[in-house]
Amino acid sequence: MNEKLLVTLEGGVKRITFNHPARRNAVDFGMFAAFAEAVEESAADASRVLIITGAGEAFCSGLDLGSISPRELATLDVAAKVRELINPPVLRLRGLSKPVVARVQGPAAGIGFSYVLASDAVIASEEATFSQSFVRVGLMPDGGSTYLLPALVGRARAFELMATGATLTAQEALRLGVVGRVVPRGELDGAVEELVARLAAAPQPALARIKAALDLAGRGGLADSLDFEAEGQGECFRSADFVEGVTAFMQKRAPEFGKGRG
């Protein structure tokens, strides 16, 4: 049991909640492992619908860099970690025979944005924001974002969002097709519960086939992208720019990438 990840199952509805509001629900390795386990269990449990959300004011702000010591960073096999903890639940979310709903009440950044992209339906509050923030600390996107985001917004827009780390408002995300619905914060829970109730009451074989049909053409492409991301992220972690990005993040200053290069 990981207190930073809450999992409940009631009336066929399973809810997975990132529960680290003091860090805006940033994810450490323990949370990654717990999330992967909870998603995997969803394939065989009594759930009919899966909800992913966050506690407090954020959905998920990405990797918790503060949870990794400099010594651990220096020896970390990042590609192996990505393949072990990040890639399996993303593939499983897409492959589940039951629908996955993302309830996004606040910032979804980095891997948090990737989890949104891996969901089947997304309902966001007006305060929600979305950012491919990896580049801000010298990293490339992972969690399937390099495959899933271009499929929604096109290559040019996806490149811009990933290369700049720009933040989308909820309305911008709606226009781009990243989310399906935006509602006032006070109406978010009601909107989510209404959709979830309809999905839970729907014929499950039909929903399973709808998901499978929508993902048929891209199933192999997502797996390949996840593996490529793992290798690329490993290279990024070994770069001087990542060291500068993490240092700047900890010191709460803007990073100066490329220092020392001739």
| Number of Cβ atoms within 10 Å of the Cβ of 261 | 7
Helix (H, G, I), strand (E, B) or coil at 105: coil
Task: Give the pLDDT mean for 171-200.
Answer: 98
User: How many whole angstroms separate alpha carbon 65 and alpha carbon 20?
Assistant: 14
Is residue 241 domain-resident? Answer: yes
Is residue 258 domain-resident? Answer: no
State the chain's maximal CA–CA distance in angstroms: 62
pLDDT at 188 over 90: yes
Is residue 17 domain-resident? Answer: yes
Count up the domains in the chain and report the number: 1
pTM of the predicted model, to two decimals? Answer: 0.91
Is residue 196 domain-resident? Answer: no
Q: What CATH code is carried by the domain that includes residue 54?
A: 3.90.226.10
pLDDT at 237: 86
Confidence band, pLDDT 50/70/90 cuts, at residue 65: confident
* Buried b / exposed e along 208-221 (16+ C-beta atoms within 10 A): eeebeeeeeeeeee
Is residue 173 domain-resident? Answer: yes
Strand blocks (E) in the chain: 5-10, 13-18, 49-54, 100-104, 107-109, 121-125, 129-131, 167-169, 181-183
pLDDT at 262 over 60: no
Per the CB < 8 A criterion, the answer to whether 115 and 52 are in contact is yes
| % of the chain at pLDDT higher than 90 | 77
Q: Give the strand pairing for 107-109 and 167-169.
A: unpaired
Task: Give the pLDDT mean for 161-178.
Answer: 98
198 or 69, which is more confident: 198
What stretches of 101-203 show up as alpha helix (H) in DSSP? 111-118, 145-153, 155-164, 170-176, 188-201
Residue 20: which domain range?
5-190+201-251
User: How many residues are recorded in the chain?
Assistant: 262
DSSP H helix total and E strand total for the chain: 12, 9
Average pLDDT, rounded, for the chain: 93
Q: What is the pLDDT of residues 9-23, one digit of tens each?
A: 999 999 999 999 999
49 or 74, which is more confident: 49
Of 5-9, 36-40, 97-101, 212-216, the poorest mean pLDDT is in 212-216
Is residue 174 domain-resident? Answer: yes
Is residue 99 domain-resident? Answer: yes
pLDDT at 261 over 70: no
Helix, strand and coil in the chain, % to nearest 5? 55, 15, 30
Is residue 256 domain-resident? Answer: no
